[in-house]
Amino acid sequence: MTTETFEFQVEARQLLQLMIHSVYSNKDVFLRELVSNASDALDKLRLEKLRDDSLDADVSDLHIELDIDKEARTLTVRDNGIGMSYDEVGQLIGTIANSGTAAFLEELREAKDAAGAEGLIGQFGVGFYSGFMAADEVTLVTRRAGEGQGTRWTSRGEATYTLERVDDAPQGTSVTLHLKPADPENQLHDYTSEWTIREIVKRYSDFITWPIRMVPEAKDGEGAPEPETLNSMKALWARSRDEVSDDEYHELYKHISHDWREPLETIRLQAEGTFEYQALLFIPSHAPHDLFTRDFKRGVQLYVKRVFIMDDCEALLPPYLRFVKGVVDAQDLSLNVSREILQQDRHIRMMQRRLTKKVLSTVKEFLAKDMDRYRTFWREFGTALKEGLVTDSENRDAILAVSSFATTHSDDGPTTLAQYVERMKDGQDDIWYITGESRQSIENSPHMEAFRDKGIEVLLLTDAVDEVWVDAVGAYEGKTLRSVTKGEIDLDGEGGEKAGEEREKQAEEYAGLLGWMREQLDEDIKEVRLSTRLTVSPACVVSDAHDLTPALENMYRAMGQEVPRTKRILELNPGHPLVKGLHEAYGASEDRTELAESAELLHTLAVLAEGGQPKDPARFVRLVADRLERTL
């Protein structure tokens, strides 16, 4: 048989280098990764056989075997599962498809020092390659169930690997690690020691639902020993709570999530009665890199009566809880259930409702009892959760109750709406907010001036989804959610006392200028009026109460929808010298060429002040330069 040599893909090579020079201090986890792969392979074979009985594969004794050879210094992890074809070995083992891993490598490159690198590498499951932490050469022999010929893959973890077809490979996969020389200083990590291997399996892989077997060393004078099963195989979700330690839950979490960090919370749920199921859900402690990408794999694992049915079962949780990981085991579903059927199944919908409420009530408990945990949760997943305010009207109140927002109130962090309402001033009827791209730009926006002046708290909303949910929600406990950049604002009833009468008089006085300016700016502006929200800036642009904001307009366009351009309203600050000056110039002269330019400049300044772009930057620069020149 011919042996072909191939090069690893670049990312794969980088990852291997990391494993070989093992920046990760806990090398033991390589065994967990290999056992985890073997367990997945057994799951897959059982399913495939279930779907296609004619598949030529033996499923009578599916198991994992560990084999130590002290003399040769090898450790072999063997399974009789699905196996891989020749092409699959090249694809799956020679390249890194997982986008999370690519992002991880990117971060790792940016991490300057070894400590930073170790912190990072501890966060990611790197699967098969972790074998190179313990071995200087790895051999994998595999035969895809149903196929006649097998494949041998070998590598020393450097730039290349070899592939070779073999005739006598058993069904499934065996991975043989040629262990690095023993470290006399560190007996604990001697992977040729039966005791060490037992300990590692107990610690990391006890819950694996397939038997993990090992033949113990023969004792003098006794016959060949029988294989022993090292793990208890008990599904954690089927055991009572006091039988399972947090560590065991965490190991299951790592197995299903490929996240090496501890989860933030473990949630158990048992439903009895006509439709019985158990669920074990995990809220991770960190949002994955790709949470907001289109191809993010969401969903929990679905089991039916302890039999693994599918990964990423989307039907069990709504999209805004896509960060939740876990296992749901249902008693009364068919083993042949498909994704399409699940989407329509009434029981599944009931499960989804129940699981959703359970997750939300867990977050509510964080908020009530453990502020640190709540803050972590909200920092990592708040943006995703807020999508539910738009899409899940049934749980809207529950989501709103656990949502928190940055605010102008000077205290130690985000505020809930309940806290905001408690702090509202006498006579304040509305909950005020401002949306925009960054906290800095909106906090300093001219729209905020009067609010700052009067000490009225404003929520600072900077996520794209904020533009949408505020409209969908509308009000909280009878208090309208109002944007500081929309509609006319009358703060007099809310802590100020500027006389309405005086304002009317001023409006009459300015009527000529305002009307004339509106005509000048007709392309962009539908009204020019005097402002009650400005104290420092000369002007600002605002939207009508029911108009789309510019950000929303852009969002719809980005999604490919056609939206008409909404004209906005220009507000002038009659207390500002610039506005007073314009007013005088308007009254004094017949030639208004210069004045028209000033109106245009004032409008562009207002657009800039809220973080917008001038319509014609070159013209704007020319006009300003011209004015500056005249001041010299």
Stretch binding ligand ADP (CB under 6 A), from 123-131, 190-198, 500-508, 584-592 = 123-131
Identity of the amino acid at 136: D
Q: Closer to ligand ADP at the Cβ: 92 or 233? A: 92
Toward ligand ADP, which CB reaches closer, 258 or 486? 258
Question: Is 81 among the residues that bind ligand ADP (CB under 6 A)?
Answer: yes
How many residues sit in the footprint of ligand ADP (CB under 6 A)? 15
- Report the alpha-carbon distance of residue 147 to residue 136 in Å, rounded: 30
Q: x-or-dash pattern for ligand ADP, window 292-311, by CB under 6 A? A: --------------------
Is 82 a binding residue for ligand ADP by CB under 6 A? The answer is yes
CA quadruple 321, 325, 326, 329: dihedral sign: positive
- CB of residue 2 to ligand ADP, shortest distance in Å: 23
User: For 233-241, which contacts have Cβ atoms below 8 Å and span 24 or more sequence positions?
Assistant: 233/207, 233/208, 233/209, 234/206, 234/207, 235/207, 235/209, 235/303, 235/306, 235/327, 235/329, 236/207, 236/280, 237/268, 237/278, 237/279, 237/280, 237/327, 237/329, 238/278, 238/306, 238/329, 241/268
Nearer to ligand ADP, 47 or 406 (CB): 47
- Residue 28 or 79: which CB sits closer to ligand ADP? 79
**Residues near 112 by beta carbon (within 8 Å), at least 6 away in sequence:** none
Distance (Å, rounded) from C-alpha 205 to C-alpha 143?
A: 24
The angle formed by the CA atoms of residues 407, 409 and 411, to the nearest 5 degrees, is 100
Dihedrals φ, ψ of 300, to 5°? -105, 170
Scanning 5-13, 79-87, 156-164, 243-251 for contacts with ligand ADP by CB under 6 A, the matching segment is 79-87
Residue 173 or 403: the one with the smaller Cβ distance to ligand ADP is 173
**Smallest separation (angstroms) from ligand ADP to the CB of 105:** 14
H-helix or E-strand containing 178? strand 172-179
Residue list 159-188, contact with ligand ADP (CB under 6 A) = 173
Report the residue number, 6 or 128, with the smaller CB distance to ligand ADP. 128
How many CB atoms within 10 Å of residue 152?
19
- Pick the closest to residue 569 from 596, 600, 539 (CA basis): 539
- Give the residue with the Cβ less far from ligand ADP, 37 or 532: 37
Nearer to ligand ADP, 127 or 550 (CB): 127
Stretch that binds ligand ADP, among 3-11, 75-83, 108-116, 298-306 (CB under 6 A): 75-83
**540 neighbors 571 (Cβ within 8 angstroms):** yes
Site for ligand ADP in 601-620 (CB under 6 A): none
Q: For residue 135, which of 65, 81, 210, 77 has the smallest C-alpha distance?
A: 77
Residue whose tokens read 């962090």: 413
Is residue 263 a contact partner of residue 381, using CB atoms and an 8 Å limit? no
Closest contact distance (angstroms) between CB of 33 and ligand ADP is 6
**Residue 265 contacts ligand ADP per CB under 6 A:** no
Q: Which residue has the tokens 């947090």?
A: 246
- Is 610 in a helix, a strand, or coil? coil
Strand partners, 479: 476
Q: Which helix (H) or strand (E) holds 449?
A: helix 449-454
Question: How far is residue 71's CA from residue 179's CA, in Å, rounded to a whole number?
Answer: 11
Q: Which stretch binds ligand ADP (CB under 6 A): 24-32, 76-84, 177-185, 612-620?
A: 76-84
- The window from 80-88, 434-442, 573-581, 609-617 that contacts ligand ADP (CB under 6 A) reads 80-88
Nearer to ligand ADP among residue 79 and residue 380 (C-beta): 79
Instruction: Give yes or no for residue 128 binding ligand ADP (CB under 6 A).
Output: yes
Q: Which position among 23, 31, 38, 525 is part of the footprint of ligand ADP (CB under 6 A)?
A: 38
Among 41, 201, 348, 460, binds ligand ADP (CB under 6 A): 41
Binding flag, residue 403, ligand ADP (CB under 6 A): no
Closest residue to bound ligand ADP by CB: 127
Q: Is residue 37 a contact residue for ligand ADP (CB under 6 A)?
A: yes
Q: Pick between residue 128 and residue 516 the one whose CB is nearest to ligand ADP.
A: 128
Compute φ and ψ for 506, nearest 5 degrees: -65, -40
Give per-residue burial for 5-41: e unless 16+ CB within 10 Å, then b: eeebeebbbbbbebbbebbbeebbbbbbbbbbbbbbb
| H-run or E-run covering 139 | strand 135-143
What minimum distance in Å lies between the beta carbon of 153 and ligand ADP? 11
Bridge-based pairing state of the strands 475-476 and 479-483: antiparallel
The H or E element spanning position 55 is none
Residue whose CB is less far from ligand ADP, 66 or 539: 66
Q: Is 92 in the site for ligand ADP (CB under 6 A)?
A: yes
* 600 touching ligand ADP, by CB under 6 A: no
- Output the smallest distance, CB 86 to ligand ADP, in A: 13
Among 258, 447, 482, 486, binds ligand ADP (CB under 6 A): 258
- Please state the closest distance from residue 106 (CB atom) to ligand ADP, in A: 18
Q: Does 79 bind ligand ADP (CB under 6 A)?
A: yes
Element (H, E) at 530: strand 525-530
Residue with Cβ nearer ligand ADP (129 or 277) = 129
Instruction: Judge contact between 65 and 144, C-beta under 8 A.
Output: no
Query: Rounded to whole angstroms, how far apart are CA atoms 602 and 593?
Result: 15
Stretch that binds ligand ADP, among 81-89, 414-422, 567-575, 594-602 (CB under 6 A): 81-89
Would you say 84 or 230 has its CB closer to ligand ADP? 84
Give 61 or 590: the residue with its C-beta nearer to ligand ADP: 61
Closest CB 40 distance from ligand ADP, rounded Å: 7
Residues within the interface to ligand ADP (CB under 6 A)? 37-38, 41, 79, 81-84, 92-93, 125, 127-128, 173, 258
